[in-house]
Amino acid sequence: MPAFTARVAGQKALAEVSGAATRASSDGAADSGAAERKARIEAAAYEVLAASGYKAASMLAIAKRASASNETLYNLYDNKQALFGSLVQANAAEARELLQRALERGGDPMQTLERLGPVLLKVVTSDKAIVLNRAAAGDVHDTGTLGAAIAAFGRETIAPLVSNVIAQAQRKGLVASVDPKEAAAVYFNLLIGDLQVRRVIGVMPEPADSEVRRRAKRVMELFGKLFGVAERSPSSSLARTRGRKR
């Protein structure tokens, strides 16, 4: 596994630790210490995973890298599968929570897809996601459990939520009558394409924020042409809402 990617993933996680500690108040010192310890363990897990692969990424090796005891790890996670499952879930949390909130609130489903695009694209092309996917590819003929966790907590969790958003758009007359699952698959293919594969095999860097936004915007334009959605601006729904109130 490329050492640079491992270092970057570890540095990002450690930066998050530092930020969390800085923001913590004195009243929450104990909670902050626990959060920092957990984050250091997760950063160490990414580093060990990138350096050694999933099969060799033992709890003991992770504990040593995090300067923590084996007991501490097992107090936080039942086993290695639980630890890496937690990493996968955390990596996809922002996209999942965005979709869940939107479905609960019943807002404009097309604006939800507009907001989701950049978030999801950043998730799947991030250094953390690449470390996990490289390790999963190397684990196919060993345990096969890391790939299963990535599928279960990633696409298999996000795709039904996207399908529900598209179904909501259909009920509001914003999308032509089509199988929501098929439309969701098209959305994923347009948005992600082969970007994650190219990142995994090391032929492209993490895309810049400007490129992520540009691609997500273009995907919405193409999705609209395919499924009969008129071209929209981010403020179009707000403008229509104000018009109805007059």
52 and 94 share one domain: no
72 and 194 share one domain: no
* Final residue before a domain boundary, out of 76, 98, 127: 76
* Final residue before a domain boundary, out of 76, 104, 120: 76
Q: What pLDDT shows up at residue 22?
A: 42
Q: What pLDDT shows up at residue 211?
A: 97
Q: What pLDDT shows up at residue 237?
A: 45
* Final residue before a domain boundary, out of 53, 76, 99: 76
Burial of residue 229 (CB within 10 Å: 0-12, 13-18, 19+) is: middle
Is residue 84 domain-resident?
no
Q: Among 87-96, 133-142, 157-166, 237-246, which stretch is predicted with the lowest mean pLDDT?
A: 237-246
Torsion of CA 46, 51, 53, 58, to 10 degrees: -70
146 and 201 share one domain: yes
137 and 202 share one domain: yes
Distances (CA, A) of 192 to 155, 157, 223: 12, 16, 13
Distances (CA, A) of 164 to 99, 158, 167, 224: 9, 10, 5, 17
Enter the DSSP assignment of 84: H
210 and 138 share one domain: yes
Q: What pLDDT shows up at residue 53?
A: 93
Name all contacts of 174-183 with Cβ < 8 Å and 24+ positions apart.
Answer: 174/109, 174/110, 174/229, 175/110, 175/227, 175/228, 175/229, 176/227, 176/228, 176/229, 178/227, 183/223, 183/227
Enter the DSSP assignment of 177: S
- What is the secondary structure of 107-121 as a DSSP string? --HHHHHHHHHHHHH
Across 197-201, average pLDDT: 96
153 and 188 share one domain: yes
Domain span at 129 = 90-245
Query: pTM here?
Result: 0.77
19 and 48 share one domain: yes
Across 164-191, average pLDDT: 95
State phi, psi for 107 to the nearest 5 degrees.
-75, -160
121 and 48 share one domain: no
234 and 118 share one domain: yes
Q: What pLDDT shows up at residue 107?
A: 86
Q: What do you get for the CA distance between the two ends of the chain, in Å? A: 60
CA distance 69 to 91: 25
Number of domains in the chain: 2
CATH code for position 113: 1.10.357.10
- The structure tokens listed for 233 are 């601006």
117 and 178 share one domain: yes
Q: What pLDDT shows up at residue 32?
A: 75
- The structure tokens listed for 197 are 């594969």
71 and 112 share one domain: no
Q: Helix, strand, coil shares of the chain as percentages rounded to 5?
A: 80, 0, 20
